[in-house]
Structures are given as C-alpha cells and as structure tokens.
Amino acid sequence: MDDCLFCGIVAGAVPAELVHETERTVAFRDIDPQAPTHVLVVPRDHHVNAVELAAADPATSAELVTAAAAVAAAEGHPDDYRLVLNTGPGAGQTVFHTHLHVLAGRPLTWPPG
C-alpha cells in the first residue's frame, strides 16, 4: 500500500533499525520504545490487523510469533517477554499494518494500561 508507513519500512523506503528478517516477516525497533527491548514484527504483505492476517495467511501469522520469539531470544530474553497486538483505535492501534510488539528487559506489570 502506497501510503502505509510499515509497507514503506518493509520496502526500504522508510528508514528503520531492522533486527530480524524471515521469508515472510521483518522486525525493527520501535521509534518510541516502551521497554529496553521494543521491537515490532510485521508481515511483508499488507494486512490491517492480526485477525485479517490470520484469516488470509495463517502461515505468516504463525511466522510472526516464531520471529518474535527469535527476536526476544536474540535480545537476551528467551523466557520473559510480552507480545502485544493492539487491534482497533480504541485499543491503541495507530498503524494499520499488522504489527506484533515484542517488549522485554524490564518488569512488565499486569494488567497493562
């Protein structure tokens, strides 16, 4: 999608600090980190949220999670991390290209805000 920020990052048109890539996913550091490790894992293809991705492309949906685990491990947090899929504006979604937040490196309280 032409006007999608994360499509731009996947295409290399928008700068980002990439930390991990697979056939179907790209992972890069969040520009406004909420934890020492805060990485976004996105599918290369455009889908507006996690549910649409899961319905359209289950293999990539699974790869998003395995890529997130690989990122957490590479960052030194193989066993303690949080994966977040904000879905819809009311839940805090601001970019409408599926992205899985990987948060680690500090105590993560529950419930989240």
What single string gives the DSSP state of each residue in 85-113?
---SGGGT--S-S--EEEEESS---SS--
Q: Which of 7, 18, 51, 69 binds Zn ion (CB under 5 A)?
A: 7
- Check residue 92 for interaction with ligand 5GP (CB under 6 A): yes
Minimum CB–partner distance for residue 28 and ligand 5GP (Å):
5
Nearest CA among 31, 58, 55, 60 for reference residue 45:
60
Nearer to Zn ion, 4 or 51 (CB): 4
Minimum CB–partner distance for residue 18 and Zn ion (Å):
16
The torsion of the CA quartet 42, 46, 50, 54, rounded to 10 degrees, works out to: -110
The option from ligand 5GP, Zn ion, none interacting with 3 (CB < 5 to 8 A, set by class) reads none
The option from ligand 5GP, Zn ion, none interacting with 97 (CB < 5 to 8 A, set by class) reads Zn ion
What does the DSSP 8-state code read for residue 37? E
Minimum CB–partner distance for residue 70 and ligand 5GP (Å):
18
Q: Return the structure tokens found at 66.
A: 């395995």
CA distance 102 to 42: 11
Where do contacts with ligand 5GP occur on this chain (CB under 6 A)?
5, 16, 28-32, 40, 86, 92-95, 99
